[in-house]
Amino acid sequence: MTVVRTSYGEVKSFTTTDHGTVTDIDGNTYNTVQIGNQIWMKEDLRVTKLNDGTPIPLIPDVETWKTNTTAAYCTYDNNAPEDTYGFLYNQHTVMTNKLAPTGWHVPTETELEMLFSSLAYNGENQEHNAIKLKEAEATHWLPDYANGTNFSGFTALPGGYRSETGIYNDKGNSGYWWTSTFYEGSYKSMIMDFDSYNYSMPINSGLSIRCLKDHPAIVTSYLKDVRQTTAKFGINVSAAGGQITRTGICWSNTQNSETVTDVDGNIYHTITIGTQTWMVENLRTTKYKDGTPIAVISGYHSTNPGYSTYANSSSNKTIYGLLYNWYAVDTGNLAPEGWRILTSNDWETLIEYLGGFEDAGSKLKESGTIHWESPNNDAMDWGFTALPGGIRDGGSATFRTLKYRGWWWSTTHQR
């Protein structure tokens, strides 16, 4: 027996109207729909060229798909192209920023969440989003997954996906759509089967594309790349995804001319942010401030104070600093004279000054992709220059997340 769940409640009012068409560089025309404040394509992308006219390679071969590191697309099971489902693209194609028609873009994860929010009412779960986004009835969805009403007009179809190993899966029961949001070596996507949810997918996966129309620019200004004698004044065009910068004068956060030297002779620049003065680089001393050597940790489950160099590479020490265990921090002798390891309250003061948790990360991170993995688009670098130095796992002793994530101790015990 099949049980269909029914829910009742007050109707939420929002805009969902047809909004004309858009044509890609191949001449394919797509119907569009306005949902809330966003305008979406009602169909999946099926273009074979980037919007500058560059052809996108078609790769049907499994082995070539697995090892390819550039833009590519395919059709499900290598069947003849069809208008219904569109094509499956790898993330390298999205990363060109030239896949969508001019004036449109591949959505971010935040923009997907805005879509879900405009459809949800009083905390409705993910199944309700799927019901409203999916094509109505079982024309393309398999019967067990045909719970859609297409109340939104989005008309989501179960085009399946191609795995990073080149295998095709899930046509008829699931749809997979890329976002442009990077997450720990992969990229976020929207997946829809019976429910809808966001999930990280490997870069070489082949997923559908649903484009979102650019909004009029929302402009905010900020400081970035604060250095000893220069800074940049940035204009963040958030809705259009662009960024304009010019060299300017820093009148708020200032990188100090003062430096601090540890007992090894390493010199660190400093910066004042609000009422706090911070080192601009990560600590890399091999001795406590009294001159006592700190032990090198080569194994795991160590309860003795010590440090490691990421992947045991001296170049990582120079760039990212050293990785200290808690026992070294807990000695109270790790920081140079007149300095200390921060507390959780220190972090909270810094984050509050920078605008809260949603804004602080981008302002603290070093900009560019010299050290952070691409695209690092949200980084503003207000001078703190946070680097992704990774971590060494205390249990397995494995090194993880270099170039993807930075980890810093505080002296605050969690109870």
pLDDT tens across 390-408, in order? 999 877 788 899 999 999 9
349-354: long-range pairs with CB below 8 Å, 24+: 349/274, 349/275, 349/276, 350/273, 350/274, 350/276, 350/278, 353/273, 353/274, 353/275, 353/276, 354/273, 354/382
The mean pLDDT of 178-190, rounded to a whole number, is: 91
pLDDT at residue 230 is higher than 70: no
pTM of full prediction above 0.75: no
- pLDDT over threshold 70, residue 247: no
Where do the domains of the chain lie? 16-213, 251-402
Q: Which amino acid is located at 24 in the chain?
A: D
Give percent of the chain above pLDDT 90: 59
Instruction: Look at residues 261, 111, 95, 255 and name the one whose alpha carbon lies nearest to residue 187.
Output: 95
Tokens 């797509």 belong to 30
Report how far Cα 208 is from the mean position of its chain's Cα atoms: 19
Assigned token pair, 320: 């990212």
CA-wise closest residue to 241 among 72, 106, 338: 106
Q: Which pLDDT belongs to residue 2?
A: 31
Which pLDDT score, from 0 to 100, does residue 256 have? Answer: 60
Q: What are phi and psi of 387, to 5 degrees?
A: -115, 150
- Residue identified by tokens 């994860």 is 109
Distance CA 355, CA 73 (A): 41
Query: Cβ of 283: how many Cβ atoms within 10 Å?
Result: 20
Residues 6 or more apart in contact with residue 55 via CB below 8 angstroms: 48, 49
Average pLDDT over residues 134-149: 92
User: Do residues 356 and 362 touch, judged by C-beta distance below 8 A?
Assistant: no
* pLDDT tens digit sequence for 55-98: 999 999 999 999 999 999 999 999 988 778 999 999 999 999 99
Q: CA torsion 360→366→371→375, rounded to 10°?
A: 70
Statement: residue 196 has pLDDT above 60:
yes
For residue 302, pLDDT over 80 is answered with no
Q: What pLDDT score was predicted for residue 197?
A: 84
